[in-house]
Amino acid sequence: MPEIAERLKHLPPYLFAEIDKKKREVRARGVDVIDLGIGDPDLPTPPHIIHALQKAAEDPANHRYPSYEGMLAYRQAVADWYAKRFNVRLDPEEEVLTLIGSKEGTAHIPLAFVNPGDVVLVPDPGYPVYAAGTWFAGGDVHWMPLRRENGFLPDLDAIPAEVARRAKLMYLNYPNNPTAAVATRDFFARVVAFARRHGILVCHDLMYSELKFDGFEPPSLLEVEGAREVGVEFHSLSKTYSMTGWRLGFCVGNRAAVAGLGAVKTNVDSGVFQAVQIAGIAALTGPQDLAERYRRTYEARRNIVVAGLKQLGWEVDVPKGTFFVWAPVPGGLDSRSFATRLMEEAGVVVTPGVGFGPSGEGFYRIALTVEQARLAEAMERLKRLTL
């Protein structure tokens, strides 16, 4: 057996494995653990989507290899959805690509545009896949700290000229995991100008565009003038329609970028089961009432958590999107010690901010993926805690 490759040794230790271990220990002691660490919807996929899959799975035409770029009907449904939701017109043949979940696309796109030694601009804290995908392609990560005083948006002026010159890609993600921050069109316009100046491809992860609160409508990067020349957007049905297990997403935007990612995928995978893509069409074009009910469910859960933390006198910004609450650790503890104490003394699991990058230190993340009564119970338990 050969030694493991350098690129795997390079990956940072997986903090969540440590949390899982502690969780098992606490559970083994008989504690009723309330797990607010899971970024995976607890609500079921709407039935009409499941029925579309069942029917499509019975059709032998769907049993063969699908096309690499995805079914045109699915890509058309994506284009129609973008037109309706963002007023962005996309050519389904050249500007839309089917993905095996958006994670797959965000992980693979550096292979199309990053040479060894090139720089990729990555948000810190952030979804770990952006850095891992960069390293797998031999690129160097330049971290862009997301600070609360900047609304958890990266400070583009703080990126050294020398780094910007070497940069090929920039990852962004708004509404944001883990900070739950949102971005405006103004910010995206500044990003587009920066990207044009430096010849950078912007990879915007728009995963949480439909988990939106208080009437806020998260914009698409592609709404901004000139964005199509420098950007792509990644999205999927995972969070909006509670379909994380189905593995269905898409990449849209710049033609050359879509083609480059497509060329990588042609050599790696053979597309998404057509029955799943047909179910995806049902999700995007069918009734939205259940998705809307889920959105309101997350909003109500958010309200419980925000009210609970405020009652404790703990600081919290009210999130306008995602199913996360991101808040400063009270009492001067570091985020890991705080999470450990919450688990051991209250049986409540939260994710320490440092797990998403060094700039996440001093914060913790609560996932709104458990029902209201359990969230309320978690808030009660925190009240009894003395930090």
Ligand X SMILES: *Cc1c(COP(=O)(O)O)cnc(C)c1O
Element (H, E) at 232: strand 231-236
Q: What is the spatial distance between Cα 220 and Cα 253, in angstroms, rounded to a whole number? A: 11
Q: Does 286 bind ligand X (CB under 6 A)?
A: no
Q: Considering the rule CB under 6 A, would residue 98 count as an interface residue with ligand X?
A: no
Task: Give the ranges where 114-269 is alpha helix by DSSP (H).
Answer: 129-136, 161-166, 185-198, 227-230, 255-266
Q: What is the token pair recorded at 92?
A: 């389904």
Residue nearer to ligand X on the CB measure, 69 or 205: 205
Residue located via tokens 């797959």: 104
Q: Compute the least distance from the CB of residue 243 to ligand X, in Å.
A: 8
Closest Cα partner for 349 from 341, 359, 357? 341
According to CB under 6 A, which residues from 100 to 139 bind ligand X? 101-103, 127
| 249 touches ligand X (CB under 6 A) | yes
Token pair 């910007």 in the structure block, residue: 164
Residue type, 139: G
Under rule CB under 6 A, residue 240 binds ligand X: no
Nearest distance from C-beta of residue 249 to ligand X, angstroms:
4
Could you say whether residue 39 binds ligand X (CB under 6 A)?
yes
Q: Which is nearer to ligand X, 66 or 126 (CB)?
A: 126
Q: Given the rule CB under 6 A, which of 108-116, 154-162, 233-241, 254-262 is the region that contacts ligand X?
A: 233-241
Stretch 154-173 residues interacting with ligand X (CB under 6 A): 173
Taking the complex as a whole, the smallest distance from the CB of residue 203 to ligand X amounts, in Å, to 11
- Could you count the other beta carbons within 10 Å of the beta carbon of residue 122? 26
Q: Give the nearest distance from C-beta 312 to ligand X in angstroms.
A: 27
Q: How many helices (H) and strands (E) does the chain have?
A: 14, 12
Q: Does 177 bind ligand X (CB under 6 A)?
A: yes
Specify the pairing of strand 249-253 against strand 231-236.
antiparallel
Compute the distance between CA of residue 89 and CA of residue 362 in angstroms, rounded to an integer: 41
Q: Which stretch binds ligand X (CB under 6 A): 52-60, 161-169, 237-245, 264-272?
A: 237-245
| Binding status of residue 359 toward ligand X by CB under 6 A | no
- By rule CB under 6 A, what count of residues binds ligand X? 14
Q: How far is the CB of 356 from ligand X (least distance, A)?
A: 10
Of 16, 22, 31, 35, nearest to 369 (Cα)?
Answer: 35
Binding site for ligand X (CB under 6 A): 39, 101-103, 127, 173, 177, 205, 207, 236, 238-239, 244, 249
